[in-house]
Structure 1
């Protein structure tokens, strides 16, 4: 008699354990899906904020290119007026860096479709 009660309790205990584990798994999955929804909303908010600052960043790159162009022009003029032999290569380097900044800003704008 004692053995039969123990076996019945053990079998029903397993069923209860399985049911409670399934319930716990359902609760965990529900919580994770709600966190996933919060994550998607956070990613969309970050996307909109980055897109809002993107035009400002491109304008900043244009401004840096203009300042570097002015500095380069002054440096090339100084070398040219002093008669330095490498004036052409210095002018090409400064001009190339300014063109590179402008091209990068333009390509980024067209690549991201903003």
Structure 2
């Protein structure tokens, strides 16, 4: 007759533990959702910042290539290729990261 009385506190403890875990999971899920919305809200300004950096680097690289070309430097084609590659990389990287994470 003592066996049913011993099971009641154990069952109550298990139910209490399950309830606590459900509340904790709900708070964790809302935290993850909030973090996700914060990170996605930074992507548009971040993408615009990368494009702006690419524009500045492109202008500086263009001036550098022009100065090498006008002075007759034989290394102009290599400088132009690396400048063009860097500009393409910035544009593609920003676009791929944005499409991957959003």
- Under TM normalisation by the shorter chain, which class is it? 0.7 to 0.9
Deviation at 1:96, TM superposition (A): 0.9
SS in 1 for 2:35: helix
Larger radius of gyration: 1
Distance across 2 between alignment mates of 1:101 and 1:63: 10
1:64-103 aligned within 5 A: 64-103=53-92
Normalising to structure 2: TM-score of the pair?
0.82
Structure 1: tracts of 5 or more residues without a match: 1-10
What residue number does 1:105 align with?
94
1:1-114 aligned within 5 A: 12=2, 15-113=4-102
Aligned residues: 102
Structure 2: tracts of 5 or more residues without a match: none
- Moved runs in structure 1, 4+ residues, more than 6 A? none
SS in 2 for 1:85: coil
RMSD: 2.0
